[in-house]
Amino acid sequence: MEDFLPYLAVLLPAMTAAISTGAPILYATLGELVMERGGVLNLGVEGMMMVGALAAFLGCYHTGSPWFGLLCGGFSAMLMSMLHGAICLIFQGSQVVSGLALTIFGTGLANYLGTPYIQMKIQGFTALDVPLLSSIPVLGPIFFQQDVLVYLSYILPFLLWWLLMRTRFGLALRATGENPAAVRAAGISPGAVRWAALMLGGFLVGLGGAYLALASMRMWVDNLVSGRGWIAVALVIFAFWRPGRAVFGVYLFSGITAYLFRAQALGVGIPTAFLSMLPYLMTLAVLLASSLRGKDSGAPADLANNLRPED
Amino acid sequence: MFKRAMFLVLALALSCSAALAADAAKEIKIGFVYVSPVGDAGWSYSHDLARQELEKHSDISTYYMESVPEGADSERVILSMARKGYDLIFTTSFGYMDPTLKVAKQFPKTAFMHASGYKTSENVGNYFGRIYQSRYLTGMVAGLMTKKNQIGYVAAFPIPEVVRGINAFTLGVRAVNPKAEVRVVWTKTWYDPALEKDAAISLLDIGVDVIAQHQDSPGPQEAAQDRGAYSVGYHSDMSRFAPEAHLVAAVWNWVPFYLEAVDQVRKGTWQPKSDWPGMESGIVDISPYGKMVPEDVRATVDQRKQEIVDGKYVVFSGPINDQSGKLRVEPGKVLSDQELISFDWFVDGVVGTMN
């Protein structure tokens, strides 16, 4: 029993770390989820996060306000998302190709424009204990001794769930992802709904990038996102396109990563190549399991299809 | 006799005038190819510091390309440098090895030097530095400064170069503090600042009070600074990221090595060879100490540094035990370069596994 004690002892700090390292991925995953529920596949998350991260850094660096930086991050990624919209919704380009191009473009653009700022520091968001709640044993340090963007990330999934499942807009958005013709028949423009999904989702993805610059590093460094955008894309599939399961997937992934690091630090041999495979492995396992049970994956039926002109 | 003397005088005069003419007319053109941006504080930055020094010489002009991906892209970049008539081209990442050899074949008059590889040809040499000697010294600093006798090491990939660094660092720690342990966490990244920062935090969570690293990013330094721990940098002096934490760093100083290569190319004496110089040549060193490092620690480490420079002390000299306590290097023996290049076991004092 005594041998296990240290492994239990690192659980708590691992969970604390999982919440904060998971936050940027959570924002990005929820952003991608909104876009995909509306029927638009956007593989540009990685590039959008990079641009969001740089814009957030620049906004904070030049004004000193992390909140202004956060808005810059959200809106710049929204612009990137609208570029994707222009290509796919107006010019009928392939969503897969446009998304991949967006990733390459966004990563290159952010690295290029960010070069003069490499290593420069900003104040950013630091941990802010919630009064009373932070002194709850065990749960307090894990959930309530974090930065304010993490607290926002607790509320966001509930808001999104409400928006998608309980509002007319959410119904239209989900229907557009499943059957745009039906939406048209109901007198709503599916094109307009997809634009809205892209803008809202893009903004959220940008917040994910902004988190990395404003809270994780509080500094500009090259390639800050380093593949987290792709993890978000994989987690949307893992989550069966549901906000609640997305939250579970994000924290499962960031939790395992954080725990494996600490287990290594204690001297347990865990193959770390496993780490980098993990989100994709999890996604494959879930897809396999659901298809074995004869269920469909829950993907929006019209995902990645462009609207036909008559829609 | 007279003939020979005459010949000598003539030869001297000729070479002098040739040298003068060359100095006046031809400036030597040097190209650098970097794998990452020069602002990264890491490996490429260390080369670029040397390039800037070379540029200060009026008879040397330099040019560089940063963020050049390994593989096909690098071949294109190296080729265009060779076409533009550069006299000497440094390609500074492992993955440039074959592209460098391929381009070099088409430009037999150009000298190429590839860092961190192992292949040579008629006009391609390779080079690296014995940075593990610096690692050993920084390990001594860490071993003397730790209060909990627990030191964390954020490591990149389990390849011989990284393992060699961890082992040298640990030998340094143990030389001054036999009770201390070095705990290793692998990130499987060369550059992911946020992830590497979290890896360092995981070590701090379990109670280490000094963080060392092998990646290019300042992430681990940031973590140590945030948590009020100490840190040991790598590649270049990283104290600007963690002024309160940064004890010392294992650093590169390519200036003397590059100046010598340039000189050889100019004189036509340059030869392609495999070069692995150590601290005696100045190619590797340790950065200035942080202000928290007391005088007696500095004196102890400086003394050992002098012994390494003078060749009186060899880092990997026996007796060395491995993690299981088995004697791997007999007393009086030293590990050969071949063994260092293929290091695949940890010395006693390392807590962690090889994967």
Between B41, B183, B189, which is nearest A265 by CB?
B183
Chain B hits for A279, CB-CB cut-off 8 Å, are none
B37 in reach of chain A (CB within 8 A): yes
The residues of chain A scoring below 70 in pLDDT are 1-4, 269-272, 275-276, 294-297, 309-311
One DSSP character per residue, A142-207 reads HHSSS-HHHHHHHHHHHHHHHHHHHSHHHHHHHHHHH-HHHHHHTT--HHHHHHHHHHHHHHHHHH
Chain B hits for A110, CB-CB cut-off 8 Å, are none
pLDDT in tens, B305-335: 999 999 999 999 989 999 999 999 999 999 9
Chain B hits for A115, CB-CB cut-off 8 Å, are 37, 39
- Give the pLDDT confidence score for residue B13 in this predicted structure: 53
What the block records as the tokens of A158 is: 């509930």
Q: What is the predicted ipTM? A: 0.86
> Residue A195's closest CA among A53, A42, A15?
A42
The residues of chain B scoring below 50 in pLDDT are 1, 16-25
Pairing of the two strands B327-329 and B320-321: antiparallel
Q: Could you identify the residue written with the tokens 């966004």?
A: A106
pTM for this prediction:
0.85
- Give the pLDDT confidence score for residue B22 in this predicted structure: 47
A216 in reach of chain B (CB within 8 A): yes
- Give the pLDDT confidence score for residue A147 in this predicted structure: 93
Domains of chain B: residue spans and CATH? 27-127 (3.40.50.2300), 131-252+285-351 (3.40.50.2300)
Between A24, A226, A272, which is nearest B192 by CB?
A226
Query: Are the CB atoms for B206 and A17 separated by under 8 Å?
Result: no
Contacts of B193 (CB under 8 A, 6+ apart): A217, A219, A221, A224, A226, B217, B218, B219, B222
Q: Cα Rg for chain B, rounded, in angstroms?
A: 22
What's the CATH code, domain A2-292? 1.10.3470
Pairing of the two strands B150-155 and B210-213: parallel
**Do A21 and B217 make contact, defined as CB atoms within 8 angstroms?**
no
Nearest CA in chain B to A277: B188
* Residue extents of the structural domains in chain A: 2-292
Query: Are the CB atoms for A124 and A66 separated by under 8 Å?
Result: yes
Instruction: Give strand ranges (E) for B116-196.
Output: 124-127, 150-155, 181-186
Residue A129 is given by DSSP the state P
Mutant choice from A104, A256, A264 vs B, greatest count of B C-beta within 10 A: A264
B212 in reach of chain A (CB within 8 A): no
pLDDT in tens, B194-249: 999 999 999 999 999 999 999 888 899 999 999 999 999 999 888 888 999 999 99
Contacts of A111 (CB under 8 A, 6+ apart): A50, A222, A223, B37, B67
Chain B hits for A264, CB-CB cut-off 8 Å, are 184-186, 202, 352-353
Query: Are the CB atoms for A52 and A234 separated by under 8 Å?
Result: no
